[in-house]
Amino acid sequence: MHITWNEECVAGILLGAGKSTRMGKLKQLLPIGKESLLERALNETLRSDLSKIVLVLGYHAEDIKIGLARNIQHPKLKVIENTSYKQGISSSIIAGLTCVEQNYNHVMIILGDIPHIDADLINLLLNRYLASHLPIGAIKIKTKRSHPVIFNRRLYSELHKLRGDVGARDLFQKHAGQVCLVEPEGSYDDRDIDTMDDYTQIVKQQQF
């Protein structure tokens, strides 16, 4: 297959399509400091060394686009709508992957509801993973694998087979000996925001 980009260029898939069922309201637009939750994730992702960003929207996509208006025209951003978002996170991964798989040998998957993922963390994982020449990478906190995660082209066919709302965790088990695990250089709070209690606690405890 002809690759039109440098083999070390990496695309990012930022996931923001969910219904926020446990939250009871549209969590993507919840304020985190001067930004919304998803806007913060998008800003940090765009600030990173990733070559292309695909933002996958679904539930209330048009409302979210309006909320992200300042960045929607960024030259390395492509915004897509996953009409199958009700089928779970795997459908959004596949939708994003379909946009970049022809031109990028690596793809990083970034959750839009973890407010402490920043450009430095993304770049650390990116550089350590590329240097390892392993097909899978992830952030690690103590003994726990965390996010973001990153995959080589060799795993694309397996990513396309994902189903439901479980993400790619089975691939880490299947290829356990081929994973580059990267510990953050400083403190990293990897909590995601699923409920209003999660949101209240994180905003109360952290300075944004």
Domain edges within the chain: 10-205
Token pair of 7 as six digits: 């083999």
How many Cβ atoms are within 10 Å of 107's Cβ, its own excluded? 26
Q: Is 129 exposed, middle or buried (0-12, 13-18, 19+ CB in 10 A)?
A: buried
Q: Which fold has domain 10-205?
A: Spore Coat Polysaccharide Biosynthesis Protein SpsA; Chain A (3.90.550)
Per-residue pLDDT of the chain (208 residues; tens, 9 = 90+): 334 445 678 999 999 999 887 887 899 999 998 999 999 999 999 999 999 999 999 999 999 999 898 888 899 999 999 999 999 999 999 999 999 999 999 999 999 999 999 999 999 999 999 999 999 999 999 889 999 999 999 999 999 999 988 888 899 999 999 999 999 998 899 999 999 999 999 988 876 6
What's the count of helices (H) and strands (E) in the chain, helices before strands? 7, 9
Give the global pTM. Answer: 0.93
Tokens of 96: 């994003």
Rounded Cα distance between 144 and 96, Å, is: 26
